Amino acid sequence: MKYQIFLISALVLLMSSCAAIKVMSDYNKQVNFAEYNTFQLLERKSSFPFGANPINQERLEKGIKEKMTSLNFKESENPDLYITYFVKKVLRENAKVYGEFYDEWDFPNQDEIFQYQEGTLVVDLLDVKKGKVVWHGALTRSTSENINTAEKRINENTDAIFKKLAEEIGR
- For residue 45, report the phi and psi dihedrals to the nearest 5 degrees: -65, -30
- For residue 48, report the phi and psi dihedrals to the nearest 5 degrees: -125, 145
Q: What is the pLDDT of residues 147-167, one digit of tens each?
A: 788 899 999 999 999 999 999
CA 135 to chain centre: 16
pTM across the whole model = 0.74
List of domains in the chain: 20-92+115-169 (3.30.160.670)
Q: What is the pLDDT of residues 23-42, one digit of tens each?
A: 999 999 999 999 999 999 99
How far from 57 is each of 45, 91, 120, CA to CA, in Å? 11, 20, 14
- Per-residue model confidence as pLDDT tens for the chain (171 residues): 444 433 344 334 444 444 589 999 999 999 999 999 999 999 777 776 766 788 889 999 999 999 999 999 999 999 999 999 999 877 667 776 666 556 566 666 666 776 667 889 999 999 999 999 999 999 999 877 777 888 999 999 999 999 999 999 988
H-state helical runs in the chain: 2-18, 54-70, 150-169
Q: How far apart are CA 96 and CA 93, in angstroms?
A: 10
DSSP labels, 2-51: HHHHHHHHHHHHHHHHHS--EEEEEE-TT--GGG--EEEEPP-GGGS-TT
Instruction: Write down the pLDDT at residue 107.
Output: 64
